[in-house]
Chain A
Amino acid sequence: MDLSKNFFQLFALPISFDIDMSNLMDAYRSLQKVVHPDHFASGTDKEKRLSIEMAAHLNEGVDTLKKPVKRAIYLLKLQGIDVDFEKNTAMSPMFLMDQMELREQLEVVGKQADPFAAIDALYERIASMQNARIDDFKAAYNKITNNIDSVGNNSNAEDIVAEMQFIEKLRIDIERLEETLD
């Protein structure tokens, strides 16, 4: 297995944001069937080490391609664009306002009559926000790959991904809050 191939090549998929999930999972499963440590419980130490390394690589690959935010970041990386979410401050005021409002809601969730229902509502809201970003990203990414937008002028796709990461961070914070309620 060539660990230097990119994840799309690894699973024999075209490089694109839209991927056929069942093709991805079929390729992943048939590769895991071969390299997984389950097959090397009685193998030599070298085989075991190699097997863990490859199985971990496959897991990393499928995790990257399966999740929209990670996939978007990875696609930009393949275009030579490293997204640095911490340094990206050029978010639209509208977006930041939304985020602030959501964060405020999150802070008072614990005091609601039914905090679990309030959390579910928050999850739904950010899921739809994220879906809107995904559509935007696809359009921006197509521009890059069709050379309408050159690599040097890619700020749009980058900004969208930064927002996606922002929303993902919020989702993790909701998850964390949920843990504390139980």
Chain B
Amino acid sequence: MAQTGGIELANLTKRFGDTLAIDSVSMTVPPGTYCCLLGPSGCGKTTLLRMIAGHDEPTAGDVRIDGQSVLGLPPAERGTAMMFQSYALFPHLTCLDNVAFNLKVRGVAKAARRKQAHEMLDRVQMDGFADRVPAELSGGQQQRIALARSLITNPKVLLLDEPLSALDEFLRLQMRGNLRQMQNEFGITFVHVTHTQMEAIAVADLVVVMDHGQIDQADRARAVYDTPRTTYVARFIGGQNVLSGKVVAVENGAAILDDARGNRFTVPTGDTAPGTGETRYLSIRRDRIEMEKLADPSAARDGTVNSVVGKVWMTEYQGTWVKVNITLPDGEEFVANIDDGRFFANPVHEGDMVLARWPAESVHPLEHRESSFDTSRGGMHT
């Protein structure tokens, strides 16, 4: 069976008055994909979702589902179904009537719609709750009912607006797996909006990182984490140290950079060799850092390339690793995640001066992007 539910956005733009919420976004979601729209609040991800659903109309551009433009169509005729952040379960109807709502408004006879609704409730393992009202259910149960209510419309695309934000930590992890499993089972496209990096990376085939109404990177989860395209993505997804420096030379496909602190880094140049004096940005995953205590901090640097010197201001034990926060001389923060065995074999303490270095092949070049995203807030702690 050829899968359906492919989404294409072409130069999609949305203005609210003077504010540009979505700035000419184009992207493709292949059929049957679990796609996460990820970004800080206000980045436009929910607006994008609502335009696909038909609850907001774009100012310009096109939304196509399976090649057909759905602009101007009412939500129910787009082949999409939306699950709301609050679930929006009708408080005056039982679970069964909630799930059967779509059939009722389409004029399906009572007996037939009850039968179908029971079947759907059964598929989400909620048939035992058919006669309860939403207020009697836990958050996780409400979510299943919301899911059943959306799926009964046989959508090609399920749109989920922050589906896990109303749940507590434990349920969030459980329902996350549940959503992924449902997506596999139904084989339809899921578009899931979230501001939690871990959530996106854990469930999605395709992670779309957004900021300021634009897409910064749309890629497989691993790629977004391991090889972020821009400084913004690297900082927002987290797990990376972002550094920059001015190019002093180019050798063997790598640029040599000097930063203002007197450190020297190398970074692969890729296709275009930079000119001397240009600023280049790079990232190194926190778990690729090696660290040693400096016996004599005042001793001159031995000229080690790809390293920084700083003072440890905090260590946090994380179970399988230790997060070491290092303050560089200009106040910038640098983080090394050291495997717990290695750390305790050679521990450092708060106040120690350390040298942190990394192999040249762990360096990943970045494009520079200004962002409103506050680095102190975010990032996964890996």
A binds B: no
Interface residues, chain B, CB within 8 Å of chain A? none
